[in-house]
Amino acid sequence: MQCTKRRAQLRQMFRRFSRTVRLCASGAKCRRHGLARTSFDKAAIKSLARRAGWPVGGSCCGLCARRRPLKAATLSAVMQIRSYSTDDRTTCLSIFRTNVPTYFAASDEVEFARFLDDLPAEFWVVDMDDQIRACGGIAMYYPEPDMATLCWGMVALNFQRQGVGKALLEFRVGLVATQHPTITRLRVNTTQVVKVFYERHGFAAVRVEPGRYGPGLDHVVMDRAVRQSQALA
């Protein structure tokens, strides 16, 4: 029974990597967690940990790992970016709600729902383990003929700071760079909360409107060139 339970934990470890992992990989029995070590435990846990980019080893039972960003190779293996469909509407709205009030005002949900219904721009979702974890779009040739505007980009709260948002951003930037040669500039309308994230990817603020999106949420307009000499960091 215990062995079956441990096997289930191992499967969930790789599938649900946003959760804190506390599984034992060394010692006859971990005093903190009470899991006996077996050859299956040691080999399987360490293998999955390496694939997920988690450290192997530690002062306790050998694998008490906190959540951390996945390695790029692991992330690309478990992530699929695909076009939005109407079946994704409910999940996208749920992702939006997890970002209220830190990143969006609750009143913005009506506008986002209208956007999903009308779909005036190209829009994608990030599928991980058969679940949608992020979404985002691009309005091509807007607001000027040589510009594209990133719109409604968001990651489910429990999956933030794992490289998902970066991957979705790079996907959209790459699509513009390769498929729309006449577009030379990118714009994003964001808030001061996410400003640093976009700065790391080459964007620079060109205008700030304090409180435009609601109490404590400034409207920050940021631009960058589509094709930069250096790769995204």
Query: How do residues 24-40 score in pLDDT, each as one tens digit?
Result: 333 344 443 343 333 33
Q: Which residue has the higher pLDDT, 3 or 64?
A: 3
Percent of the chain residues past pLDDT 70, beyond the cut: 65
Query: How do residues 129-156 score in pLDDT, each as one tens digit?
Result: 889 999 999 999 999 999 999 999 999 9
Query: pLDDT class for 48, splitting at 50, 70, 90?
Result: low
CB 84 within 8 A of CB 135: yes
Query: pLDDT class for 78, splitting at 50, 70, 90?
Result: confident
168-201 burial, b for 16+ CB within 10 Å, e for fewer? Answer: bbeebbebbbeeeeebbebbbbbbebbbeebeeb
pLDDT value of residue 228: 78
Sketch out the chain's domains with CATH numbers: 2-68 (no CATH), 74-225 (3.40.630.30)
Assigned token pair, 133: 């974890």
* β-strands 185-190, 147-155 pairing: parallel
Other CB atoms within 10 A of residue 22 CB: 17
How far is the C-alpha of 109 from the C-alpha of 143, rounded, in Å?
A: 23
